[in-house]
Amino acid sequence: MLAYANHLGRSTTFFEIKRRDQIIAYLDRFVKREEEDPEKKWITTWNDTCHRIKHLFRWLYCQRGREETIPPSDWETPEFVKIKDKKTKRLSPYSETEIWDKDELLTIVKYEPIMVMGMHGILLLIM
């Protein structure tokens, strides 16, 4: 969010952002040409950054002027932040060389003091 704030400049506050194009102009800085990124990995970055910006504005507009904390489940999304994700044909944000196989994972797991099984697989906790 600091990079987005830097993009806006010192003279613009988050409360002054009222239009979708003010957000998309920043997000489009992540778009790369086909020659630079043939796998279109930039789409994952674009979508992830968009989600972070949406989260910021949902919090900002729902908490503004309130003493009590509003739970995220009760936050409303401002209209100008309702931006659709870019579609990707990639099945995973990771390439084949970035995914660990079972033997690599087991090599690391044996050194970890605590292992928690979760909905999305194994989460390792380092103490």
pLDDT in tens, 52-100: 999 999 999 998 888 999 999 999 999 999 999 998 876 666 776 777 7
Q: Which domain holds residue 124?
A: 94-127
Same domain? 27 vs 79: yes
Rounded to the nearest 5°, which phi and psi values hold at 118? -130, -175
Q: Which residue has the higher pLDDT, 9 or 92?
A: 9
- State whether 111 and 60 are in the same domain: no
- Cβ contact 90:42 at 8 Å: no
Q: Are 84 and 114 in a shared domain?
A: no
pLDDT score of 65: 87
Q: What is the DSSP letter of 23?
A: H
- Give the gyration radius of the chain's Cα atoms: 19
DSSP letter at 68? S
Q: Which residue has the tokens 């906790």?
A: 125
The amino acid occupying position 90 is: R
Assess whether 74 and 114 both reside in one domain. no
pLDDT value at 37 more than 50? yes
Confidence of residue 127 (pLDDT cuts 50, 70, 90): very low
Q: Are residues 84 and 98 in the same domain?
A: no
Does 116 score more than 60 pLDDT?
Answer: no
| Co-location of 20 and 52 in the same domain | yes
* pLDDT tens figures, 98-112: 777 788 877 877 777
- What are the two backbone dihedrals, phi and then psi, of residue 120, each rounded to the nearest 5 degrees? -100, 20
Residues 6 or more apart whose Cβ sits within 8 Å of residue 34: none
pLDDT band at 126 (very low <50, low <70, confident <90, very high): very low
Domain count within the chain: 2
My answer on whether 58 and 80 are in the same domain is: yes
Provide the sign of the torsion angle of the four alpha carbons 110, 113, 116, 122, taken in this order: negative
